[in-house]
Copies of this chain bind each other. A is one copy, B any other.
């Protein structure tokens, strides 16, 4: 398997790969950071924990890789970082060129049922099944020590995938996540567009609905108070109220003065990696 790019970083390797997704009927790009511990030839006998990172609207696999500064901490803790793209790609994949918040760059980590999106926009199946199989087949990852995190739309993806698959994603954290998509404009546009008008079909992708069945994990959320999208699209209080009701352990930290950017993520990524590592071991 040949990476499309590879750079040494903090003693490990930061690579980008393309691999075939049957679910999305396209090639998907994935950024993979292997810490020094995973390059050790003994690593296949003592596999590493991994963190899957899901990015937000308009992002690709590159944003987290170039801007978050996560590799430094991953190298210290021996965590493999897996950062997939945010939607199917390719000229044959339908797009909505007038929207930054729908179609390409905005797959919302769900399986679309509506045309013309259903043929390619199968991001839940891709991330949960295909990406997992691919990363376990190709890197020295301990399948029992996988966590998931993400930003904004990717925070929505991380929390919903964790709550539905707690045996696969043992730990979960998020930065400024969309946590009640059925109730906010970004979420409603996506859920309606990909899944249709029937709101009963939306619940499986709404963290506030899913958390009624809590997980064993302690979900860490950081949210900036100066985030432009806080009161319209993110609304973490809806989710934290639902967590309190259901008994889901959650730490929601409102970070004074921080915004929605990767400067915010870079500031707190170390705490998130340690949160995952503490449980995954």
Per the 8 Å Cβ criterion, residues 70-105 of A in contact with B are 71-72
| Cβ-defined contact, B266 with A8, below 8 A | no
Q: Is A139 an interface residue (CB 8 A)?
A: no
Nearest CB in chain B: distance from A186 CB, A: 21
From B11, B72, B224, B261, give the contact of A69 (CB < 8 A).
Answer: B72
Cα(A86)–Cα(B144), bound, Å: 48
Nearest CB in chain B: distance from A10 CB, A: 5
Chain B contacts of A267 at CB under 8 A?
8-11, 72
Contacts A7-B259, A8-B226: A66 and B67 contacting too (C-beta < 8 A)?
Answer: yes
Per the 8 Å Cβ criterion, residues 250-281 of A in contact with B are 257-259, 261-264, 266-267
Q: Is A240 an interface residue (CB 8 A)?
A: no
| Cβ-defined contact, A69 with B9, below 8 A | no
Cα(A251)–Cα(B262), bound, Å: 33
Cα(A9)–Cα(B259), bound, Å: 9
Q: Is A248 an interface residue (CB 8 A)?
A: no
| Cβ-defined contact, A72 with B266, below 8 A | yes
Chain B contacts of A224 at CB under 8 A?
8
Chain B contacts of A266 at CB under 8 A?
9-10, 69, 71-72
Q: Is A14 an interface residue (CB 8 A)?
A: yes
| Cβ-defined contact, A263 with B69, below 8 A | no
Please encode chain A, from 49 to 81, with 1 for each CB lying within 8 Å of some chain B CB and 0 for all others. Answer: 000000000000000001101011000000000
From B8, B72, B263, give the contact of A7 (CB < 8 A).
Answer: B263
| Cβ-defined contact, B264 with A9, below 8 A | yes
Nearest CB in chain B: distance from A81 CB, A: 13
Residue among A257, A261, A263, A266 having the largest count of chain B Cβ atoms under 10 Å: A263
Chain B contacts of A262 at CB under 8 A?
66
Cα(A257)–Cα(B69), bound, Å: 20
Per the 8 Å Cβ criterion, residues 8-24 of A in contact with B are 8-11, 14
A interface residues with partner B (beta carbon < 8 Å): 7-11, 14, 66-67, 69, 71-72, 224, 226, 257-259, 261-264, 266-267
- Cross-chain pairs A/B with CB under 8 angstroms, 10 sampled: A7-B263, A8-B226, A8-B257, A8-B264, A9-B266, A10-B266, A14-B263, A66-B66, A66-B67, A71-B263
Q: Given A8-B257, A8-B267, A66-B262, 5 other A-B contacts at CB below 8 A?
A: A7-B259, A7-B263, A8-B224, A8-B226, A69-B69
